[in-house]
Structure 1
Amino acid sequence: MSGQKLHPTSRRQRWIFLISMISLIGFVVLAALVKRQGLETFDMAIITTVQAWEQPLITDIAIGLSFIGSIGPVIVLCLIVIAVLYWVLGHRVEILLLIVVVFGSSILNVILKWVFQRARPDIHRLIEITGYSYPSGHSMAAFSFYSVLAYLLWRHIDSRAGRGALISISVVMILGIGLSRVYLGVHYPSDILGGYLAACAWLGFLVRSYEKRMGKRANPEDVNESETA
């Protein structure tokens, strides 16, 4: 019995669970350091480095990325993806996963900000914004949306180049939106990192639950593997 190999789906679910738990623990540790103001040196070193890049073109790019990561554009992008999933790919349950991941992440962010009530940095702001700082709502929204988008579209792309492009675009958008908030002076780097960790834990929990509920139907590649074995 101990020599049995795990089904690919079960093995992936274990990895998803592990990553989700590591992200959750990382968020808790980071939050404790934020509460104790133990990240000032870390935050200031990165802020100083990033804001030293300031020039008009980079500022325009940062403002654009920050806009894309705000709630309005995220809703529009979600509606576009929902339309593609429903009318082009013929999916239904995947739409529910997208909605719960993205909009659940936004609700979770509001709750976490209320819990920690961290004031925004007031060093060198290029835009003005109100509200609490930790964790970053933009970084949580970007991580949730682009990660779940990559997850849902991955199995519909056959070529390595296409899959590589999908992952590359997702990573660039996630990091770019997060970095833009530091550059614009409205978030500490630890806010961004906290947002990524919280979103990763949230996403991992939902994806694992989704795969367990859907079974092999959520993983047609695994079905093919089992049929050819």
Structure 2
Amino acid sequence: MNLKIQLTWAFFISLLSAISFGAIALLVTDHKVVQFDKVIISFVQGLETPLLTSIMKFFTFLGGGFPVVVVTLIILFFLYKVLHHRSELILFISVVIGSVILNETLKLIFKRARPVLHRIIDANGFSFPSGHSMAAFSLYGVVAFLLWRHISTALGRSALIVISIIMIMAIGISRIYLGVHYPSDVLGGFLASGSWLAISIWYYQRYQERRYEDMKILEELR
């Protein structure tokens, strides 16, 4: 795909995600998502079984602090030592750390209390947007973007996308199932991270384009 088209798409997705997040945030603030949350919570928690609870706890664990740190360190090592791509390293760190800062900032702005109807696990802090959802979307989204270009087969790329989507969705749904987030928290988290990830990719691609153009100019001057 042409780089200019990629840049346009990245900017458009970032803008659309930001606008959609703003719409969700307004609905949350005005308490106009109560029925939406109630219907989805009723459906998701209505599926409760001992086995499914164990699975959901596992995915919530994967979206928590320690596993995210471990995955992050593995990816950092792979980018730096194996691929020797320092610019990709900077993008990865910026997306992951930026997502954490953005989530904490948004939580302090909206200060939404967590649901209390049916808690399977305990959780502290504010509810909107979901930190687990934002972390999962940012982490597995940027990993999919970075690894895509290093996978040559259609099957490998398809597997990468499917695994990334499964991880993101499973972690988000687990937060609803376990009773620690409203569905609108999870949706808001996906949209906020989607906007941050897309604008980060846009900036990264712009940087790569300018770097390539500068190198061409230097070669012409020699």
TM range (shorter): over 0.9
Structure 1 residue 136 corresponds to structure 2 residue 130: yes
Q: Hey, what does 2:115 align to over in structure 1?
A: 121
Structure 1 residue 31 corresponds to structure 2 residue 25: yes
| Equivalent residue runs for 1:1-229 within 5 Å | 8-215=2-209
How many angstroms apart in 2 are the aligned matches of 1:187 and 1:201?
Answer: 21
How many angstroms apart in 2 are the aligned matches of 1:95 and 1:147?
Answer: 14
TM-score (norm 2): 0.93
Q: Once the two structures are superposed, what CA deviation does each residue of 1:62-111 show, in whole Å capped at 9, x if it has no partner? A: 11100110122111101001111111111111111111101110011000
Gaps of 5+ in 1: 1-6, 219-229
Q: Once the two structures are superposed, what CA deviation does each residue of 1:94-133 show, in whole Å capped at 9, x if it has no partner? A: 1111111011100110000000000000110100111100
How many angstroms apart in 1 are the aligned matches of 2:31 and 2:119?
Answer: 21
Give secondary structure in 1 for the equivalent of 2:48: coil
Give secondary structure in 1 for the equivalent of 2:124: coil
Gaps of 5+ in 2: 213-222
User: Which amino acid letter does the alignment assign opposite residue 50 of structure 1?
Assistant: V
How many angstroms apart in 2 are the aligned matches of 1:30 and 1:52?
Answer: 25
RMSD of aligned Cα (Å)? 1.2
In structure 2, relative to structure 1, the CA distance for the partners of 1:124 and 1:39 (3 Å cut) is same
How many angstroms apart in 1 are the aligned matches of 2:62 and 2:82?
Answer: 24
Q: Once the two structures are superposed, what CA deviation does each residue of 1:160-194 show, in whole Å capped at 9, x if it has no partner? A: 10000000000000000000000000000000000
- Shift of the alpha carbon at 1:145? 0.3
Alignment coverage as a number of residue pairs: 212
Moved over 3 A (4+): none
TM-score (norm 1): 0.91
- Shift of the alpha carbon at 1:217? 6.9
User: Which amino acid letter does the alignment assign opposite residue 129 of structure 2?
Assistant: P
Give secondary structure in 2 for the equivalent of 1:179: helix
How many angstroms apart in 2 are the aligned matches of 1:67 and 1:152?
Answer: 24
How many angstroms apart in 2 are the aligned matches of 1:178 and 1:65?
Answer: 9
How many angstroms apart in 2 are the aligned matches of 1:152 and 1:120?
Answer: 34
Give secondary structure in 2 for the equivalent of 1:124: coil
- Shift of the alpha carbon at 1:10? 0.5
User: Which amino acid letter does the alignment assign opposite residue 106 of structure 1?
Assistant: V
The percentage of aligned residue pairs carrying the same residue is 50
